[in-house]
Structure 1
Amino acid sequence: MTLLRIVYASAIELRTDEAYYWTWSKESALSFLDHPPAIAWLIRFGTAIFGDTPLGVRLGGIVAMLLTQLLLADIVRRLTHDVRAVVFAVLMPEAALYYGLLMAKVAPDVAMIPVAVAMMWSLVRLAQSSDGRWWLAAGLFAGLSMLSKFTAIMFAPAVAAFLLVPDWRWRWLRSPYPYLAVLVAILVFSPVLIWNVQHDWASFRFQGVRATANYGISLRTLGDYIGLQFGLVGFVMLPVVLTGLVLTAWRGYRTREPVAILLSAAVLVPFAYFLFKSTTLRVGDTWPMFMWPVGFAAAAVNLATMLKEGWSARMLRSSVFWARTAIVSGIAFVVIVFLYYVVVPWNLLGKIDPIGAEAGYEQVAARAQAALDETGATWIATTDYRTYAMMRWLFRGRVPVIEINERGRFQDFADPGMDRIKGHSGIYVGREPDNRSSLWENIPAKREQLATVERRWRGLVMDTYAIEKLSGWTPELSPPKDSPLFQWKVLAGEFERRILG
């Protein structure tokens, strides 16, 4: 399965968000508007080995998957001493589409998942050894989790329950170790805090807009959330894992067993939160993915525990049957999806295909290059971060690329090459109808329509782009914060509205 992910990572061109995070890896900023910096570091690790190639960008995700599986195996081994349960724990993520294949697609969640599981592993070691120093390891991995993605904070209720519900609470509340662990986590997370202090808490305000957005009750977004969990975790796997989590929670709170409380709350609390939010907001496909590996561990431990608790033979046979079915059917599904994207030449999903919807930018870049050659222009302008990222990725530094709006996204970015921009004409590349946006009222450039180009995937037009010549104007890298060319807050809301369609 690892080889399958390597082939996938090498064969599929980068998606827009992957290219966007790749641009971060070329910068020296402490943090970024959208997310903390760990994903940029992970990409830099991969490209240092394999260069600026799809495999280089995605190598971190492949390594992250292996580390996650090793940690899950050791957690389950320590809790059950049952080889079968360990095998289940290792194979469950292989049978879930997001982990078995799409962990090769880099995102902040990919950087977060192994260190979040390492935090759980540290707390399991703490519970088994009663050695308070494991709190410090947990604090380190908690800080690294937050350095990857802010949603790591959703593990806090599980850690609090792990600390406060069992009978050991007064021992640890009187110990310095939990408090030192919090201090360690804050110190590790400090690059993000420093960057935000310097930039008016921009990341927290940006994510706050997304987290608090409310567009009214919608059964559609609720259905999207539930459907995505079935699709990305597994149509059989999801019920198996949820059943294991509920039984683990019942067992943990009934006996005040710390690890059972930790593992169950780490998944059920975020799952319930996202379920609630999905009634008014579309939950992104990757948002809940940080929690399910802990659920795989809990489900595997539950199977081994049921064998020891004297459940009926019929119930035990049924539980093992469904776990095996989930793994076999899930891995088959992952392989089918892999073959569809790597081998099959047809588009079976139309414009809703999640890979095809972001494919075909090579055609846009080729037409942009032709326009550069025809006009003598020396730089490329865009008005959305996806096109910006793909143009930077495909031109690989040969031509300066700048997004002329949303400049709040690019605080502390290096000079893109203003010596090649100032005083020279540029080429605008924009998705229609962005070329007719009211934004252009604030840009005094002379615009000349050159061409349009279709972005196609497997014969289907996914989008149409306008190619224009810009002259008589030099873009401003650091416009005032009240400028429509800087603002990101409104655009964050528009992003959600576009998704809701």
Structure 2
Amino acid sequence: MRLVYAGVLDLRTDEAYYWTWSKESALAFLDHPPGIAWLIRFGTAIFGDTNLGVRFGGIVAMLVTQLLLADIVRRVTHDVRAVILVVLLPEAALYYGLLMAKVSPDTAMIPCAVAMLWSLVRLHESGNPRWWLAAGLFAGLALLSKFTAIMLLPAVAAFALVPDWRRRWLLSPWPWLAALIAVVVFMPVLIWNAQHDWASFRFQFVRAVATHQLSFRTIGEFIGLQFGLVGFVLLPVVLSGVTLTAWRGYRAREPVAILLSTAVLVPFLYFLWKSLTLRVGDTWPMFLWPAGFAATAINLVMLPREGWPDWIVKSTFWWARVAVISGIAFVVGVFFYYVAAPWNLIGRTDPVGGEAGYEQVVARAEMQLQKTGATWIATSDYRTYAMLRWYFNGRVPVIQINERGRFQGFRDPGMKAIKDHPGLYVAREPDHRLPLWDLTTAKRQPLERVERVWRGIVMDTYALEKLTGWTPDLSPPPDSPLFRWRVLAGGEGRGVSHS
């Protein structure tokens, strides 16, 4: 089902944006580390520049994540039922059962983060300190995919310091060697940032510390998203399983229970707190729930072993079954809605339809290129830039004229075809009327307006204009309005990378 979804549905704008990264040789990028670019390059090396090629890494990441979760639960419980359950739980969550086919930095990070947890479970099981080194390697790979992997550090610290073995590890070189390995693996990002005035760290820091007024809308959106993307029944099942696991772990100082529960609760409570004033992106909490699935499956086995009343044990198993059955049914329903149904039931806010239909814009742009003799395309937002570059795929240079800080270290897009040649400006209305045009010598001639339509509903309207008398500066100084990137309120929205 995920393979069909990956192959049939048009790329979303962020996916196309990350695909453009996969065509570059930069060590890192303004928005994120390079892990997602490497994952996409892996898929396109097999299937080419196709929808499936871009998304294939997410299919593999889901499989690897499930295998690691199954092994974690097997080693802790030695119970086949728990192993089957932990494999089914992500299938019952829309986040993973379907949307792991939609690549994002989180998709690249999740198997690495789970592999780090798996290494620490192996450490507890075997007592072999060399598993610290594996944990450090996977921690570094997780950070190479997304900075939010650092939010798992409290779980690792609690795993090492709360149980009775804390003195052993504090005096041992192994955890410190693991930390050193993680830093060495993360070195490409450090080198890139040192060369570019620590741009990606400053970019993320601004978003992390941004303060806004208290908003019940944003916290409602966050909670609603978690119910929708984890599961209306599955979310409370997982949260209750994680809470009991945390109670069990900290009460008995049990390392694995501490590790898994803290890996969920600390990031979840942080995002809940941030949602009071900030719109939390839909994929931001995606990395924390796999540990919750493992904790939930383990908790089901531990309840009868600890002598809990039969009615509690039976009720817990019943709710787990309902969560799996209803969740998988919901995932399948969403799959058929997007793949086979002809309707748009959500309107312009549809998360998939809102980013579909760009082939209509591309067709009109191609026609205007032929009519006007333009040899390159200009845009002024990264979403339009990404989709046009995806569809034209090197046939015509596509340039985002502003926010050039996003493209540091990118290769020459083809300046010979740009310099002293007319261009075609493609921009979503009303954003095409940017004041920065007053800073250039460009002459703009309106050509036409194009509607982007999905299932009969107009999602956006685009203006097409001919550009003459100007060649864009691809490397403006950092204090130039053409260099600076925008960070909008909430960290997610048009014109800002949010994943």
TM-score over 0.5 (shorter chain): yes
Q: 2:12 aligns with which of 10, 15, 23?
A: 15
The Cα offsets for residues 453-485 of structure 1, whole Å up to 9 and x where unpaired, read as 000100000000000000110001100110000
Q: 2:118 aligns with which of 97, 117, 121?
A: 121
Partner AA of 1:458 in structure 2:
R
CA distance in 1, matches of 2:489, 2:229: 26
Q: 1:492 aligns with which of 464, 468, 487?
A: 487
Q: 2:213 aligns with which of 200, 207, 216?
A: 216
Compute the displacement of 1:497 (Å): 7.6
**What residue number does 1:261 align with?**
258
**What residue number does 1:284 align with?**
281
Partner AA of 1:435 in structure 2:
H
CA distance in 2, matches of 1:307, 1:194: 52
Give matches, 1:263-342, under 5 Å: 263-342=260-339
Corresponding position: 1:466 with 2:467: no
Q: 2:62 aligns with which of 57, 65, 72?
A: 65
Local SS of the residue matching 1:281: coil
The Cα offsets for residues 176-218 of structure 1, whole Å up to 9 and x where unpaired, read as 0000000000000000000000000000000011111122100
Local SS of the residue matching 1:180: helix
User: Is the contact made by 1:39 and 1:148 (CA closer than 8 Å) also made in structure 2?
Assistant: yes
Partner AA of 1:229 in structure 2:
Q
**What residue number does 1:97 align with?**
94
CA distance in 1, matches of 2:354, 2:19: 19
Local SS of the residue matching 1:448: strand
CA distance in 2, matches of 1:173, 1:389: 48
Q: 1:353 aligns with which of 350, 355, 379?
A: 350
**What residue number does 2:367 align with?**
370
User: Is the contact made by 2:452 and 2:460 (CA closer than 8 Å) also made in structure 1?
Assistant: yes
Give matches, 1:89-238, under 5 Å: 89-238=86-235
User: Is the contact made by 1:453 and 1:464 (CA closer than 8 Å) also made in structure 2?
Assistant: yes
Partner AA of 1:496 in structure 2:
G
Corresponding position: 1:478 with 2:449: no
User: Is the contact made by 1:57 and 1:106 (CA closer than 8 Å) also made in structure 2?
Assistant: yes
The Cα offsets for residues 224-280 of structure 1, whole Å up to 9 and x where unpaired, read as 110000000000000000000000000000000111000000000000000000000
CA distance in 2, matches of 1:227, 1:161: 30
Local SS of the residue matching 1:434: coil
User: Is the contact made by 1:439 and 1:484 (CA closer than 8 Å) also made in structure 2?
Assistant: yes
Local SS of the residue matching 1:492: coil
Local SS of the residue matching 2:484: coil
CA distance in 2, matches of 1:375, 1:497: 36
Q: 2:429 aligns with which of 412, 429, 432?
A: 432
User: Is the contact made by 1:282 and 1:499 (CA closer than 8 Å) also made in structure 2?
Assistant: no
Local SS of the residue matching 1:435: coil
Partner AA of 1:219 in structure 2:
F
Partner AA of 2:359 in structure 1:
E
**What residue number does 1:451 align with?**
448
User: Is the contact made by 1:167 and 1:256 (CA closer than 8 Å) also made in structure 2?
Assistant: yes
Local SS of the residue matching 2:481: coil
Spell out structure 1 runs of 4+ moving beyond 6 A: none
Partner AA of 1:257 in structure 2:
E
CA distance in 2, matches of 1:281, 1:336: 30
CA 1:498/1:70 → structure 2, altered by over 3 Å: closer, same or farther? Answer: closer
Q: TM-score, normalised by structure 1?
A: 0.98
Identity of aligned residues (%): 73
CA distance in 2, matches of 1:325, 1:206: 42
User: Is the contact made by 2:453 and 2:459 (CA closer than 8 Å) also made in structure 1?
Assistant: yes
The Cα offsets for residues 89-115 of structure 1, whole Å up to 9 and x where unpaired, read as 000000000100000000000000001
CA distance in 2, matches of 1:497, 1:70: 32
Local SS of the residue matching 1:456: strand
User: Is the contact made by 2:280 and 2:490 (CA closer than 8 Å) also made in structure 1?
Assistant: no
Compute the displacement of 1:493 (Å): 3.0
CA distance in 1, matches of 2:491, 2:234: 29
Local SS of the residue matching 1:480: coil
- How well do the aligned residues superpose, as a CA RMSD in angstroms? 1.0
Q: 1:53 aligns with which of 50, 53, 56?
A: 50
CA distance in 1, matches of 2:238, 2:114: 16
Aligned residues between the structures: 495
CA distance in 1, matches of 2:416, 2:494: 37
Compute the displacement of 1:496 (Å): 3.4
CA distance in 2, matches of 1:497, 1:462: 18
User: Is the contact made by 2:73 and 2:297 (CA closer than 8 Å) also made in structure 1?
Assistant: yes
CA distance in 2, matches of 1:46, 1:368: 29
User: Is the contact made by 2:278 and 2:489 (CA closer than 8 Å) also made in structure 1?
Assistant: no
Local SS of the residue matching 1:451: strand
Partner AA of 1:405 in structure 2:
N
**What residue number does 1:246 align with?**
243
**What residue number does 1:390 align with?**
387
The Cα offsets for residues 132-179 of structure 1, whole Å up to 9 and x where unpaired, read as 100000000000000000000000001000011001000001110000
CA distance in 2, matches of 1:228, 1:12: 22
Partner AA of 2:401 in structure 1:
I
Q: TM-score, normalised by structure 2?
A: 0.98
Compute the displacement of 1:57 (Å): 0.2
User: Is the contact made by 1:213 and 1:493 (CA closer than 8 Å) also made in structure 2?
Assistant: no
Compute the displacement of 1:444 (Å): 1.4
Partner AA of 1:363 in structure 2:
Q
CA distance in 1, matches of 2:98, 2:23: 26
